[in-house]
Amino acid sequence: MTALLRFDGERACEADIEAHTPEMREQRRHLRRQLAVSPGDRVLDVGCGPGYLISELVDPVGPDGEVCGIDISASMLDLARKRCATAGARVSLTAGRCEEIPFPEGTFDAAVSSQVYEYVADIERALAELYRVLRPGGRAVVLDTDWDSLVWHSADRSRMRRILELWEDHVADPRLPRRLGPLLQEAGFIEESLTTLTFLNRRCHRDTYSYWQVGFIEAFLADHPGADPHETTAWSRELRELDAAGRYFFSLGRYAFTVVKPDE
Ligand SMILES: C[S@@+](CC[C@H](N)C(=O)[O-])C[C@H]1O[C@@H](n2cnc3c(N)ncnc32)[C@H](O)[C@@H]1O
The type of residue at 31 is L
What DSSP state is assigned to residue 115? S
Q: What is the number of the ligand 1 atom nearest to the C-alpha of 143?
A: 8
Q: Is the CB of 97 under 6 A from ligand 1?
A: yes
Q: Is the CB of 47 under 6 A from ligand 1?
A: yes
Q: Is 56 helix (H, G, I), strand (E, B) or coil?
A: helix
What DSSP state is assigned to residue 202? S
Q: How far apart are the first and last CA of the chain?
A: 43
User: What whole-number distance in Å separates Cα of residue 136 and Cα of residue 91?
Assistant: 23
Q: Is the CB of 232 under 6 A from ligand 1?
A: no
Q: How many CA atoms lie within 13 A of 177 on its CB side?
A: 23
Q: Are 248 and 202 contacting, i.e. CB atoms less than 8 angstroms apart?
A: yes
Burial code (b: 16+ CB inside 10 Å, e: under 16) for 166-182 equals: bbebbbebbbbbeebee
CATH architecture of 9-147+170-200+254-260: 3-Layer(aba) Sandwich (3.40)
Q: Report which of 25, 24, 10, 145 is spatially closest to residue 76, judged by C-alpha positions.
A: 10
Tens place of pLDDT for every residue, the chain, 264 residues? 566 777 777 777 887 888 889 999 999 999 999 999 999 999 999 999 999 999 999 999 999 999 999 999 999 999 999 999 999 999 999 999 999 999 999 999 999 999 999 999 999 999 999 999 999 999 999 999 999 999 999 999 999 999 999 999 999 999 999 999 999 999 999 999 999 999 999 999 999 999 999 999 999 999 999 999 999 999 999 999 999 999 999 999 999 999 999 997
Beta-bridge partner residues of 113: 142
Mutation probe of ligand 1 site: the residue of 18, 81, 116 with most atoms within 8 A of C-beta:
116
Report the nearest-CA residue for atom 4 of ligand 1: 49
Between the CA of 62 and the centroid of ligand 1 the distance, in Å, is: 25
Q: What is the number of the ligand 1 atom nearest to the C-alpha of 49?
A: 27
